[in-house]
Amino acid sequence: MSITITWHGHSCFSVSADGYSIVLDPYAPDSVPGLPPLSLSASQVLCSHGHSDHGYTDAVDLSAGKQGSPFTVTVIQTFHDDQNGSLRGENRIHILEADDLRIAHLGDLGCTLEPGQMELLKDLDAIMIPVGGYYTIDAAQAMALVEAVKPRIVIPMHYRSDTFGYDVIGRLEDYTKLCRDVVTYASASMVLEKDTPAQTAVLSL
């Protein structure tokens, strides 16, 4: 079993296994500076919260998706800020398991996790984690979380570049300069298997 992970920009990913695909956190047109509108097909959509840059389910056509999911989904309820949600509301972390692979998408995590929540994030094969700060945890906080739960592969998200992203959030390099074993992919996709080497995986649009 393998899981194909494809980044569509910002925090939007497709993950697929055994012909079944899940889109996570699709963004609305014109909600993220520099990114084109999404037009995706999938079997299922999962959103961390309802903001337009994470919860635009109309971007995903579910009519052609395969039924019968190989994934089990575990949800961890967290907050979009460090004020128990009073600033930006709640956030859901999704843990997806297929066969012997476990991955997690942290959405717009903006708070420190409780010990029990941290325990659920251990033994991950891959984690998709925001690193930009301002609306979410920043690069240093993301690194602290990664060092605590020790996922095999880290895929940073929710950052800005010269061509896309909110100008108030940090750049990818703010995070990768803290990392070892950074692998930059020439494409937006990677195939995750049990023998994929540990790395910080930078996917390219």
Determine how β-strand 90-98 pairs with β-strand 126-130: unpaired
Residue 183 has pLDDT above 80, yes or no: yes
Higher pLDDT, 40 or 87: 40
H or E element at residue 187:
none
Q: Rounded CA gap, 46 and 118, in Å?
A: 21
Residues near 159 by Cβ (< 8 Å), separated by ≥ 6?
130, 131, 132, 165, 169, 170, 171, 172, 174, 175
Select from 1, 24, 51 the least CA-distant residue to 129: 24
Give pLDDT tens digits for 152-165. 999 999 999 999 99
Q: Rounded CA gap, 164 and 162, in Å?
A: 6
Q: What percent of the chain lies above the pLDDT cut of 90? A: 92
pLDDT of residue 64: 73
Does the pTM surpass 0.95? The reply is yes
Using the structure block, give the residue that is written with the tokens 């084109």.
Answer: 36
Give pLDDT tens digits for 100-122. 999 999 999 999 999 999 999 99
List b or e across 63-100, with b for residues whose CB sees 16 or more CB atoms inside 10 angstroms: eebeeebbbeeeebebbbbeeebeebebbbbbbbbbee
Cβ 17 vs Cβ 4: under 8 Å = yes
The first and second tokens of residue 168, run together, are 């108030």
Give pLDDT tens digits for 117-142. 999 999 999 999 999 999 999 999 99
Residues near 27 by Cβ (< 8 Å), separated by ≥ 6?
9, 10, 11, 12, 35, 38, 52, 53, 54, 56, 59
Sheet with 90-98, side-by-side order of all strands:
71-79, 90-98, 101-105, 126-130, 153-157, 199-202, 182-184
The first and second tokens of residue 138, run together, are 């920043």
Q: Rounded CA gap, 48 and 67, in Å?
A: 22
Give pLDDT tens digits for 14-61. 999 999 999 999 999 999 999 999 999 999 999 999 999 999 999 999
pLDDT of residue 83: 86
User: DSSP code of 78?
Assistant: E
pLDDT of residue 63: 80
pLDDT of residue 135: 96
